[in-house]
């Protein structure tokens, strides 16, 4: 059972989301928060697995709440809610460790898939939109003076990471590379460990920032 906390300053939006989520047998809405500060408090108090976090809220906004919640090593995963697919704050939330984002106008089934994905950390949420956002907000990288974070990856791990940056799930990667899903999962876990990031979203951010992939084509910068 995935425990979800809804954080949004609009009561009508919270009610609508609750109705959608409570119709699912594997999702439980454990609480609602009106601002970021309350979201942090309730996420910990109610042991939420996923926080649906609106960005623009009165008081502490969703960006600051995401930073604080994830910086504290809390086990909750954050799924950003936004009304606009290129919200200027969304990329900063992803850099802070959010597991992805979903448009408030998205169909109910997409929202459900997004929550399940966020809960497992299996894949980026709304891959095409997330990729557009990342490409829009990361400037072309300048030459690095620090060690290459991807230097220790094997050729196969590089292949897997390239597909991760395209928003593919483990199942889709397995199909493309003719591997089992268990093997892909092992590769992904090794990649995250080698490049010292928390999850797939941060791996994608680092891949773009470092020039491993280039905004616009998703191919390695060789």
Q: For residue 30, what pLDDT is reported?
A: 97
pLDDT at 222: 45
Instruction: Domain of residue 149: give its range.
Output: 141-222
Clarify whether residues 33 and 118 are in a common domain: yes
Do both 145 and 105 map to the same domain?
no
Note the pLDDT tens digit of each residue in 120-156. 765 554 555 556 666 665 555 555 556 788 999 999 9
CA dihedral for 156, 209, 170, 130, sign (positive or negative): negative
Using one digit for the tens of pLDDT, what is the confidence trace for 2-49?
999 999 999 999 999 999 999 999 999 999 999 999 999 999 999 999
Q: Which residue, of 136, 171, 187, is where some domain finishes?
A: 136
Q: Say if residue 52 is in the same domain as residue 112.
A: yes
CATH of the domain at 41: 3.40.50.2300
The token duo for 38 is: 């309350």
Q: For residue 101, what pLDDT band results from cuts at 50, 70 and 90?
A: confident
Is 95 found in the same domain as 192?
no
């Amino acid at each position: 059972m995935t425990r979800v906390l809804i954080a949004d300053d609009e009561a009508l939006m919270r009610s609508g989301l609750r109705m959608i989520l409570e119709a699912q047998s594997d999702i439980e809405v454990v609480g609602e928060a009106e601002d970021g500060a309350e979201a942090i408090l309730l996420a910990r108090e109610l042991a939420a697995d996923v926080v649906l976090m609106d960005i623009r809220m009165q008081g502490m906004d969703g960006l600051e709440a995401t930073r604080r919640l994830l910086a504290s090593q809390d086990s909750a995963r954050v799924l950003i809610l936004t009304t606009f697919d290129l919200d200027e704050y969304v990329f900063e939330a992803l850099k802070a460790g959010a597991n992805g984002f979903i448009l408030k106008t998205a169909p109910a089934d997409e929202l459900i898939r997004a929550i399940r994905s966020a809960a497992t950390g299996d894949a980026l949420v709304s891959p095409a939109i997330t990729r557009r956002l990342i490409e829009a907000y990361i400037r072309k990288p300048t030459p690095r003076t620090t060690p290459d974070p991807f230097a220790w990856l094997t050729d196969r791990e590089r292949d897997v990471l390239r597909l991760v940056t395209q928003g593919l799930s483990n199942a889709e990667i397995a199909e493309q590379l003719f591997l089992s899903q268990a093997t892909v999962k092992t590769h992904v876990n090794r990649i995250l460990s080698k490049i010292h990031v928390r999850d797939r979203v941060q791996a994608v951010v680092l891949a773009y920032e470092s020039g491993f992939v280039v905004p616009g084509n998703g191919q390695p910068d060789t």
